Amino acid sequence: MSENETIAPHGGSLVDLLATGEPAAALAAEAANLPKIIVSDRELSDLEMLAVGALSPLIGFQGRGDYHSVLETMRLESGLAWSIPVTLSLTEEEAHRLGGADSAALVPAEGLAPLAVLRIGEIFARDRQKEALAVYRTDDPEHPGVAALRSAGDFCAAGTLEVISLPEHDDFLSYRLAPSQTRAVFAERGWRTVVGFQTRNPIHRAHEYIQKCALEIVDGLLVHPLVGATKGDDVPADVRMRCYEALFEGYYPKDRAMVSVFPAAMRYAGPREAIWHAIARKNYGCTHFIVGRDHAGVGSYYGTYDAQEIFEEFEPGELGIMPLKFEHSFWCNACEGMGSPKTCPHDEERRVSLSGSKVREMLRAGERPPLEFSRAEVADILIAAMQDG
Ligand SMILES: [Zn+2]
């Protein structure tokens, strides 16, 4: 770890799988003649994360040994903490078509240029039931992660990746920083400690309060919204991004806070995903990570504090990054300020709290939620987006 680095990447060094210049051209030429594997949107996110080192120390899609080790122990075969398998699925027909090839070209869709070459180490059968119960703690097909798992192929192709180019994006271009780039920004700003905030939702006063509580004890804040695939009913990423911009403009110190996007797809795996999110943020250079109630949860599949408690299943130092566990927070009229059940002694009726469905109802009706709940700038963006949609 170099002197001006905040924290070493998971496993010790930052992975970079992206070829450039002559080797990239040679790889593209080779890929043109290889059998192809079409990767799903979610796997494309993983490919991008692998390429830029967000999933360090992984250098490709995981094989059978790591797959089972992760499911059973939340650790790689090497013993390093890792909570969710990173696999590339294959249907039986695709596996057949590869016919023992030792390399394959990964393409985002039929007819598009290959993004990467996979040096195939092995092809193995996935154990759907075991994976569902370990990762999602349920095999209910209504769970979005389980549903995605059910529709994926029966086999996984594992091996190291050589990346020709990153998936193309036409949005958030100035916010797409790789881990090496966020690390460079932190170093440039002289931040030694940085807290990461994962989100797939607009930021209301409660989230702002939590972020600022954390920022009181560290040098910098990285708001790191997830922009890979989410459920259809989550607020679209571009709307969320306009909210973050408005909030940063008006209420965050420019030299202590930044927004960048996290290219991961949402798995809704609750506790296991909280660990995975923390490890990835460590790779981006964060020393601390905010874990709220029901982090990465969906419906009522996980207990309120499961995603916080799972951090106790690791020895101190195993993860490296420090979880900061927060309660839900609110404005209290008696305290005349933001607080949480940890800091406010008053009862429910003095606190301004609204359910998610009540907030959506107000926004749809063109009505701003109370200023104690949501900044007017954020409310107006959400109202406009609801009325467009
Ligand atoms: Zn109070």
pLDDT in tens, the chain (389 residues): 566 789 999 999 999 999 999 999 999 999 999 999 999 999 999 999 999 999 999 999 999 999 999 999 999 999 999 999 999 999 999 999 998 899 999 999 999 999 999 999 999 999 999 999 999 999 999 999 999 999 999 999 999 999 999 999 989 999 999 999 999 999 999 999 999 999 888 889 999 999 999 999 999 999 999 988 777 777 888 899 999 999 999 999 999 999 999 999 999 999 999 999 999 999 999 999 999 988 888 989 999 999 999 999 999 899 999 999 999 999 999 999 999 999 999 999 999 989 888 999 999 999 999 999 999 999 999 999 988 76
201 catalytic residue (yes or no)? yes
Nearest to 327 by CA among 355, 292, 352: 292
Q: 201, 256, 350, 368: which one is catalytic? A: 201
Global pTM reads: 0.95
Q: 200, 240, 281, 351: which one is catalytic? A: 200
Local structure of residue 134 (DSSP, 8 states): I
Phi/psi of residue 61, each to 5°?
Answer: -80, 140
Distance CA(284)–CA(222), nearest Å, equals: 10
Burial call 306-320: b when 16+ CB within 10 Å, e when fewer? bbbebbeebeeeebb
The Cβ of residue 136 has, within 10 Å, a number of other Cβ atoms equal to 27
CA of 379 to the centre of ligand 1 (A): 24
Cβ–Cβ < 8 Å for 196, 186: no
CA of 352 to the centre of ligand 1 (A): 10
200 catalytic residue (yes or no)? yes
Collapsed DSSP state (helix, strand, coil) of residue 78: coil
